[in-house]
A and B are shown apart, each in its own frame.
Chain A
């Protein structure tokens, strides 16, 4: 059975609905008020992923770097908008631009390095590598940045008096807020760093599982996974630091005053 894989057919997918039927049955049994949502979720998963399959097939057929770059830019804008709308309860001025800009820099550096020097893709915009990796960088970067920014706002709220005390002594905003910045980045990176400690011991990461399922030699799958783990941590670090370096300034006036009105929940 070497280097073979079991192609799953549409009939097989229909059979997999049995799994959902089991979930439904259990929820009905305990009268948990989730049936409708679960039904919508089941349908959306099916429709969204099927559509995505066709879309990806179409994208992968494109042999045009402008199209690929445009697609990545599109993904960045959508992700930045998603991050921006998650931050509605605590609006930060220019947050959309901050996210989009930080993602652009991170994607350019990390994706460029991977495509050029690790995978040596030919052509450089080889869609089978570029689209999924860009997706991982953007998605992971967004999640990590959201965590950091939330933590950062909690930190400023918590340290408001300390920050104002430091400002009143003549501290520049950067110095007054340094501990809050460090704590926030550290807190957001911890899950990523912890994942590096337990990867492969507790569970196999999704990408690796997928590759092995589709018949790829585990040793190759492992090499991909090692690269992805490093990529995740670096992406998260880069995103967090870029985003916070831009975000913290929004909390101060040019007169080195803390904008306390931004701390209160809208």
Chain B
């Protein structure tokens, strides 16, 4: 091999690795078993920074199981899961979870006031600069809860308010990725759309990557940019949101027909 070849080789390697690390998440032949049952099978997926991706599929298709892996609430049984070009297992877990926030299906608030819920991370991590009431108000404003009384008992909030409080709590960590596990499943249609519209705005304003589990094609059509359709633990279809108008796989066609 001549020097010239060698340098070209090096250059190609550098370009390849630069492109590779550009992916926020990279999944390769990933699977997950729970007590001997394969929930996810051979998932390969690449997610770019700044995407709004929806994981769509019938219940039991593995959407939530997949989402939980992105925040390392679970680990894959086999295969590769990289976050920012590094295996997720090699990340400092605290740093990873600060960068990757999660909003769960059912809103969870801890006993205490709205203020205590918002500043909960300070229980285990002394901040360099404690969160001021102004910071909190600014974040509450982002989720549309500006007028709430911060000394109110968080458990007395309505379902929609609790979910927005949960969103605000995650945002205070200044995440770069937001995982949403059907966060509006327990809410009515109008409220659900209002909350996801907020999320979509944050996604644009803060260049926040959003990965949202949903079984509501209307919601997905309206706000997501990319759709990954899961069926029985496998990716049946993956593409821009327009694939919902021209589904190619039989599974997605059947699913959409049923949801209609």
Chain A residues proximal to chain B, CB less than 8 Å? 161-162, 164-172, 174-175, 179, 253, 255-258, 261
Contact = CB atoms under 8 A, between A and B. Distances in A.
B94 A164 contact: no
B173 A164 contact: no
Contacts of B124: 170-172, 174-175
A170 B72 contact: no
A161 B181 CA distance: 13
Contacts of B106: 161
Interface residues of B, number: 29
A174 B120 CA distance: 14
A168 B73 contact: yes
Contacts of B111: 179
Nearest to B94: A170
Given A170-B98, A172-B94, A172-B124, A257 B74 contact: yes
B139 interface: no
A164 B125 contact: no
B104 A169 contact: no
Contacts of B123: 171, 175
A164 B102 CA distance: 10
Interface of B: 34-35, 71-75, 89, 93-95, 97-98, 101-102, 104, 106, 108, 110-111, 120-121, 123-125, 166, 169-170, 173
A256 B108 contact: no
A161 to B, nearest CB: 5
A124 to B, nearest CB: 44
Contact of A255 (B89, B102, B166): B89
A169 B170 contact: yes
B97 A169 contact: yes
B120 A168 contact: no
A174 B98 CA distance: 17
A168 B71 contact: yes
Contacts of A169: 97-98, 101, 120-121, 169-170, 173
A257 B72 contact: yes
A261 B72 contact: no
B99 to A, nearest CB: 9
A162 B107 CA distance: 9
Nearest to B102: A168
A207 B71 CA distance: 56
Nearest to A261: B35
B79 to A, nearest CB: 16
Contacts of B173: 169-170
Contacts of B74: 257
Q: Which of A169, A171, A258 has the most CB of B within 10 A?
A: A169
Nearest to A258: B73
A167 B121 contact: no
B104 A255 contact: no
Contacts of A172: 94, 124
B93 A256 contact: yes
Nearest to A174: B124
A250 to B, nearest CB: 17
Q: Which of A165, A174, A258 has the most CB of B within 10 A?
A: A165
A170 B108 contact: no
A237 B49 CA distance: 51
Q: Would you list the 9 A-B pairs with minimal beta carbon distance, nearest first?
A: A175-B124, A170-B97, A168-B102, A165-B108, A170-B94, A170-B98, A161-B108, A256-B93, A171-B124
Given A162-B110, A165-B108, A255-B89, A170 B75 contact: no
Nearest to A165: B108
A176 B155 CA distance: 18
Contacts of A175: 123-124
A161 B64 CA distance: 14
A129 B34 CA distance: 53
A165 B125 CA distance: 16
A104 B32 CA distance: 41
10 contacts: A161-B106, A161-B108, A165-B108, A168-B97, A168-B104, A170-B97, A255-B75, A256-B93, A257-B74, A261-B35
